Amino acid sequence: MTRAILHCDLNSFYASVEIFLDPTLKGKAVAVCGSVEDRHGIVLAKSDAAKKMGVSTGEAVWQAKEKCPDLIVVPPHYDQYLKFSKLARKIYEDYTDMIEPFGIDECWLDVTGSTRLFGSPEHIGMEIKERMKKEVGLSISVGVSFNKIFAKLGSDMKKPDAMTVISKETFREQIWSLPASDMLVVGRATGNSFMTQAYSLSEMLHIANPKDLRAGWVLTVCCCGDMLMVLTIPP
């Protein structure tokens, strides 16, 4: 039986909660930031409007304000984020007990055994998405696939408030041309370890000759269940 996995990602979670709590912030460039006084003055999350102005998560507040002079900076309210995370989880629990959190704002849901009760994985994903807006007041992006890696990739492909399905029949056409760095298990260090040419997933999976990499480098791609491991071994 093909597994049915959803990955649910609460869009711009910290910033979305702040906007929900203070509706006057809606549509404005908002960034949730740590304390400058305590030397934690970095952007923890930003609204879509701030993102469009080039504000990036992890950058210093002063850098963000250079890009967006009208940026509204708000402090984090972790108690509220935990509250909303629990509200989202209650919705997930209506469809399955096989829930795996990935941080405070993301979860994988295995709904393989739920389809007889609630319909197709796509229907479940859409229903969760609509319920989240009505009952919690936040939007989510949902990825639907047959394993966790592709479900996570799907939720990242369209944001905000969207759903992407990556099936066994179509995954090659949908993801093989994407850069390897888009995959969950490929971090910045691994991505930077390749030669200056940027490999797509398809190219990586078909590289057979180490000469295609930097001299002496070896590339290994391992697929095991939900994990796609990409290893580069320097000389």
Question: Annotated active-site positions, please?
Answer: 106
The CA-CA-CA angle for residues 102, 169, 10, to 5°, reads 25
Kindly give, in sequence order, each residue whose CB lies less than 8 Å from that of residue 227, ignoring residues fewer than 6 positions away: 149, 185
CA distance 70 to 55: 12
Show the tokens assigned to 36: 């400058």
Cβ atoms of 104 and 81 within 8 Å: the answer is yes
CA distance 43 to 59: 6
Q: How far is CA 188 from CA 5, 172, 180, 210, in A?
A: 26, 24, 11, 21
